[in-house]
A and B are shown apart, each in its own frame.
Chain A
Amino acid sequence: MKELIKNLSTPEQSGKRIGLFRTLCAIFGGLLVAYLGMNLLLYIIPGTPGESIIVPLLLNTMAWAGVALWISVSSTKLSAILRVVIPSLIFSIFIAILYNI
């Protein structure tokens, strides 16, 4: 396990190869983070469900693009995973709390 983390946290020599790992993290992880983030935004915007859903629904795809970019330029593989996992967890917890209020 330690070996794996050490492996993942070593920065690559060159940034000229993106690699499958970062690509997958960026595309699917980016979608997950963006979608959860927009769900949280939905709860933050005041109004009835119909009123507050329009803005997050519209911005969803742009958020996906932005988050995917952010993940794909991360310095190590480990930080690419963390950039997926940590925001997803935080957003999920908030969504779970707000859903039950």
Chain B
Amino acid sequence: MNENLEKESKKLFKQRLQRVHVATGISFSLLMYVAVFFGVFAILLPYIQVWEKPSRHYQIADITKIDYGSMIDPVLADSDYPKMNGVTIILPGYMEDPSLRIRAPYTKTRVFNPNTNQEVENEDDQSELARFLNHMHYGRPFKDVGYLIFGFTAVACMFLVIGGVILILKIKYKNDGKNPASRFSKWHRKIFTWVFPPFIIITLTGAFMNIGYDGSAPMTYLASKGETSRIFQLTEPILYPEEPKIEKKNDSALMLPMNELIKKAKQINSDLDFQRIELINWGDSSALAKLEGYNPYMPFLNGISNKPSITLSGVDGTLISEHKVMDKHWSGLFYDSIFFLHFLFGVDTFTRLFVATLMTISSFALGFGVLLWLEKKARKFPNHIPVYQWMGKLSLSVMIGVIPATGFLFVSQWLFPFDLENRVALQKGLFGLFWLATLTWSFYRLNSYQAAKEFLVLGGILFILSPIIHFINSGFSPIQLWNENMFNILSVDIGLFIFGVILLFVGIKLPQDRVKVQEFWAKKF
């Protein structure tokens, strides 16, 4: 009797675990897919950001040979340049951007080509392709609503990962089933068993960024024992400590040239890749230059909140203070190590591509999960009846329809002239319209496989076209890009082309007939 009861409760537990996994999974699947799909583009953001702008079409200069002074010093010498609120200089090579940028509040950012030391015209808000793809990744186009929805999706995602791991441990799944449903189930489990550790960390940080701060007020109140309920008041001194304010002496002194300062900083700590220089009270005898960087020998520990830096006096270059990676409080190091996988700041191309591949594979795993659910609905009908089901149509449009819509974004980037009025708004609007059109189309087509085929072929054509349009309209042929060492830009072109070819190939090969599709999944997969 007792044994029976135990068996019964175990069965109920497994049933429930499976049921909550399926219900939560199918409710959030499409949002998760959107986040992962655009996330892959967000991983490649630095390269797309350079590819999209005519003002960045030159090689990354050799950092040992750049003459910083001849670009920066004239700007700083200009008495009309607003220096009282501090000046930030972003050095070439940071996030793959070949340009040198000088920024100050209330003025236009000045951009220089470090190969020629000439100023170039920045596109500012006329070119925001990479930015928009990144915004789509976390729901920013819908402001607070988008943040909340994507944040809850991330929580649901962690719920699914934890539940899924327990399911795999508790239930003995068989991998040798020969029908499509068991194939989908096999790959859904197999892929996620491999990628869940990075996946859950990335989702955790994603959830934190979108909803972690909402509702942190009570916790802050308790932590500070009633002193404050604003979280930043507590965390800022730990994560982003401010430099002590330096009184201006209100005189004018001769500043050290920029080349000297950078050379001095390099001597103090040669491990750092310098990314930016902050100038405080420049031109005054109390002037400071804070050189911030990234230490590539200590990945996971710096790069997000923890930025090792060297502060030098602007007058004679004496060392005022130095922050090393390990100077941070351990909670700050924990923060950085957990965010590192999500942001990938400062990592090399290989790591970026590796994580992008992992995420692409997990987007397939998500797709298999949805296919499994749909297949279970569809197999109640005999094979000669085309299945018309709303969730199938919606997922078709969201998961496959997003590909040609994104392809259109890439095509329009170099098709539209850069002086077009409301260029970005037009791009975003047409992208939305395109995506919605795929929704209509997938409901219009009776056969979902036919619609999928059309979307893939269309997406393939658009992705193949985008590098070609880029070659024509930017005036740089692939050979020229190669000869002039613009490998960053050329690799984006090649990547887009290969992606397009794969889409086209899959689109042409994909069977349309339901019987053949079933056969394909069961036998070849």
Q: B9 contacts which chain A residues (CB < 8 A)?
A: 11, 75
Q: Which of B147-168 contact A (CB under 8 A)?
A: 151, 154-156, 158-159, 162-163, 166
Asked if B219 and A35 sit within 8 Å, CB to CB, the answer is yes
B433 within 8 Å of A (CB atoms) = no
Q: Which of A48-67 contact B (CB under 8 A)?
A: 48-62, 64-66
Asked if B223 and A54 sit within 8 Å, CB to CB, the answer is no
Known: A18-B16, A57-B212. A69 touches B159 (CB 8 A): yes
What mask results when residues 5 to 29 of chain B are scored 1 for a CB within 8 Å of chain A, else 0? Answer: 0001101111111011001000000
Shortest C-beta distance, A21 to chain B (Å), equals 13
B467 within 8 Å of A (CB atoms) = no
Q: Bound complex: CA of A15 vs CA of B167, how far in Å?
A: 14
Q: A59 contacts which chain B residues (CB < 8 A)?
A: 204
- Cβ 8 A contact of B331, one of A39, A47, A72, A73: A47
- Pick the most buried of A42, A50, A95: most chain B CB atoms within 10 A of its CB: A50
Q: Which of A6-58 contact B (CB under 8 A)?
A: 11-12, 14-18, 26, 35, 38-39, 42-43, 45, 47-58
Shortest C-beta distance, A94 to chain B (Å), equals 12
Q: B218 contacts which chain A residues (CB < 8 A)?
A: 35, 39
Shortest C-beta distance, A95 to chain B (Å), equals 7
Q: A11 contacts which chain B residues (CB < 8 A)?
A: 8-9, 12
Q: B237 contacts which chain A residues (CB < 8 A)?
A: 50
Known: A55-B331, A58-B208. A12 touches B158 (CB 8 A): no
Asked if A58 and B11 sit within 8 Å, CB to CB, the answer is no
Q: B472 contacts which chain A residues (CB < 8 A)?
A: none
Shortest C-beta distance, B259 to chain A (Å), equals 39
Q: Which of B222-272 contact A (CB under 8 A)?
A: 222-225, 231, 234-239
Q: A14 contacts which chain B residues (CB < 8 A)?
A: 12, 15
- Pick the most buried of A39, A43, A58, A66: most chain B CB atoms within 10 A of its CB: A58
Q: B23 contacts which chain A residues (CB < 8 A)?
A: 18
Asked if B19 and A61 sit within 8 Å, CB to CB, the answer is no
Q: Residue on A with the closest CB to B215?
A: A35
Q: Bound complex: CA of A99 vs CA of B212, how far in Å?
A: 22
Q: Bound complex: CA of A56 vs CA of B166, how far in Å?
A: 24
Stretch of B283-291, B332-340, B371-379 with 4 or more beta carbons under 8 angstroms from chain A: B332-340
Shortest C-beta distance, B149 to chain A (Å), equals 14
Q: Bound complex: CA of A48 vs CA of B231, how far in Å?
A: 13
- Cβ 8 A contact of B335, one of A47, A54, A69: A54
B323 within 8 Å of A (CB atoms) = no
Known: A50-B234, A50-B235, A73-B13. A57 touches B162 (CB 8 A): no
Q: Residue on B with the closest CB to A64?
A: B155
Q: Bound complex: CA of A56 vs CA of B19, how far in Å?
A: 30
Asked if B12 and A17 sit within 8 Å, CB to CB, the answer is no
Q: Bound complex: CA of A99 vs CA of B222, how far in Å?
A: 7
B220 within 8 Å of A (CB atoms) = yes
Asked if A61 and B20 sit within 8 Å, CB to CB, the answer is no
Q: A62 contacts which chain B residues (CB < 8 A)?
A: 158, 200, 204, 207
Known: A15-B13, A61-B207, A95-B222. A54 touches B155 (CB 8 A): no
Q: B219 contacts which chain A residues (CB < 8 A)?
A: 35, 38-39, 42, 53, 56-57, 60
Q: B159 contacts which chain A residues (CB < 8 A)?
A: 65-66, 68-69
- Cβ 8 A contact of B235, one of A38, A54, A64, A95: A54
Q: Residue on A with the closest CB to B11?
A: A15
- Cβ 8 A contact of B329, one of A38, A47, A60, A68: A47
B501 within 8 Å of A (CB atoms) = no
Q: A49 contacts which chain B residues (CB < 8 A)?
A: 220, 223-225, 234
Asked if A99 and B235 sit within 8 Å, CB to CB, the answer is no
Asked if A69 and B20 sit within 8 Å, CB to CB, the answer is yes
B116 within 8 Å of A (CB atoms) = no
Q: Bound complex: CA of A73 vs CA of B205, how far in Å?
A: 26
Asked if B204 and A42 sit within 8 Å, CB to CB, the answer is no
Known: A47-B329, A69-B20. A55 touches B216 (CB 8 A): no
Asked if B20 and A54 sit within 8 Å, CB to CB, the answer is no
- Cβ 8 A contact of B16, one of A52, A53, A73, A99: A73
Q: Bound complex: CA of A15 vs CA of B334, how far in Å?
A: 40
Q: Bound complex: CA of A69 vs CA of B165, how far in Å?
A: 12
B492 within 8 Å of A (CB atoms) = no
Known: A52-B331, A58-B212, A65-B155. A73 touches B239 (CB 8 A): no
- Cβ 8 A contact of A53, one of B15, B151, B235: B235
Q: Bound complex: CA of A38 vs CA of B23, how far in Å?
A: 27
- Pick the most buried of B159, B162, B166, B234: most chain A CB atoms within 10 A of its CB: B159
Q: A52 contacts which chain B residues (CB < 8 A)?
A: 223, 331
Asked if A54 and B238 sit within 8 Å, CB to CB, the answer is yes
Asked if A66 and B238 sit within 8 Å, CB to CB, the answer is no
B469 within 8 Å of A (CB atoms) = no
Q: Bound complex: CA of A39 vs CA of B218, how far in Å?
A: 9
Known: A50-B235, A52-B223, A61-B158. A73 touches B17 (CB 8 A): yes
B211 within 8 Å of A (CB atoms) = yes
Asked if B204 and A50 sit within 8 Å, CB to CB, the answer is no
Q: B220 contacts which chain A residues (CB < 8 A)?
A: 49, 53
Asked if A57 and B216 sit within 8 Å, CB to CB, the answer is yes
Q: Bound complex: CA of A59 vs CA of B155, how far in Å?
A: 11
In the A-B complex, the 7 residue pairs with the smallest Cβ-Cβ separation, listed nearest first, are: A15-B15, A65-B158, A61-B207, A65-B159, A15-B16, A50-B234, A15-B12
Between-chain CB contacts (< 8 Å), 28 pairs: A15-B14, A15-B16, A16-B15, A42-B223, A43-B222, A45-B331, A49-B223, A49-B225, A50-B237, A51-B329, A51-B331, A53-B235, A54-B235, A57-B219, A57-B235, A59-B204, A60-B219, A61-B151, A61-B155, A61-B207, A64-B155, A65-B159, A66-B158, A66-B159, A68-B159, A72-B16, A73-B13, A73-B20
